[in-house]
Amino acid sequence: MKKHKQKPNWRPISDLPLIAYLIDGGLEDSEREYKLFLEAKEKPHILDDAIVNRAIRLSDERAEFIEEMYKEQLLRWQREELTESERKEVERLSCQNERLRKLNKKLCLLLQELKKYTINRIMEMDDVELAVKTLAGEIPFPSSMAEIFKPCGKYKPKKTKGSIIPFRSKLTFNSLFIEQFLNEKSPCAALGVIEEQKKEIGFIAIKPPEAIPAEVMSHGFSFGQRILGQEAYVLIHFILRFYDYKDYHILLNANNDIVRHVLNVMGKTEDYFFFAFSDSGGMTAFRSDMGENSGWFDENLDTINNSMTTPDQYRSTYNKLSRTKMFPGEDLRWVCHDKIEFMDLEHYRLEANPC
The C-alpha torsion from 318 through 322 and 328 to 332, rounded to 10°, is 70
pLDDT number for residue 167 = 52
| Percent of the chain with pLDDT strictly greater than 70 | 81
pLDDT for 134-163, tens place per residue?
545 566 644 433 333 333 333 333 332 233
> Model-level pTM?
0.59
* Angstrom distance (rounded) from CA 206 to CA 325: 19
Query: Measuring CA to CA, which residue among 351, 152, 133, 334 is closest to residue 252?
Result: 334
Pair 205, 238: CB distance under 8 Å: no
pLDDT number for residue 84 = 93
Q: Where are the domains of the chain?
A: 13-117, 146-352
pLDDT for 294-340, tens place per residue?
788 888 888 899 888 889 888 887 887 776 666 678 899 999 999 99
* Angstrom distance (rounded) from CA 313 to CA 123: 8
pLDDT for 108-119, tens place per residue?
999 998 888 787
pLDDT number for residue 49 = 80
pLDDT category at 170 given cuts 50, 70, 90 is confident
CB atoms within 10 A of CB 172: 19
User: In this model, does residue 354 exceed pLDDT 80?
Assistant: no
pLDDT number for residue 320 = 74
The listed range with the strongest mean pLDDT (17-21, 153-157, 276-280, 289-293) is 17-21
Pair 293, 301: CB distance under 8 Å: no
pLDDT number for residue 326 = 63
* Amino acid in the structure at residue 262: V
**DSSP-assigned states of every residue in 295-344:** HHHHHHHHHHHT----HHHHHHHHHHHHHTT-SSSEE-EE-S-S-GGGG-
pLDDT number for residue 160 = 28
* Angstrom distance (rounded) from CA 24 to CA 103: 13
pLDDT number for residue 1 = 43
DSSP code, position 290:
-
Which residues, 6+ apart, have CB-to-CB distance to 240 below 8 Å? 204, 206, 221, 222, 223, 224, 247, 248, 250, 274
Overall average pLDDT of the 88-102 stretch? 94
pLDDT number for residue 42 = 74
pLDDT number for residue 48 = 76
pLDDT number for residue 45 = 67
Omega before 187 within 30 of 0, i.e. cis:
yes
pLDDT for 53-94, tens place per residue?
889 999 999 999 998 899 999 999 999 999 999 999 999 999
Helix-helix angle 16-40:71-78, to 10 degrees: 150
Pair 350, 175: CB distance under 8 Å: yes
pLDDT category at 344 given cuts 50, 70, 90 is very high
Choice between 282 and 77, residue whose per-residue pLDDT is larger: 77
pLDDT number for residue 119 = 73
Number of H helices, E strands in the chain: 11, 14
pLDDT number for residue 319 = 81
| Percent of the chain with pLDDT strictly greater than 90 | 40
User: In this model, does residue 98 exceed pLDDT 80?
Assistant: yes
* Amino acid in the structure at residue 99: R
Give the helix/strand (H/E) hosting 66: none
* Angstrom distance (rounded) from CA 274 to CA 296: 18
pLDDT number for residue 77 = 94
Q: Count how many Cα atoms sit within 13 Å of the Cα of residue 25 in the half-sphere of its side chain.
A: 6
Lowest mean pLDDT among 32-41, 164-173, 193-202: 164-173
**DSSP-assigned states of every residue in 128-193:** HHHHHHHHTTSS------GGGEEEEEEE---EETTEEPPP-S-EEEEHHHHHHHHHSPSSEEEEEE
The C-alpha torsion from 102 through 10 and 54 to 138, rounded to 10°, is -10
Overall average pLDDT of the 197-209 stretch? 93
User: Average pLDDT, whole number, for the chain?
Assistant: 81
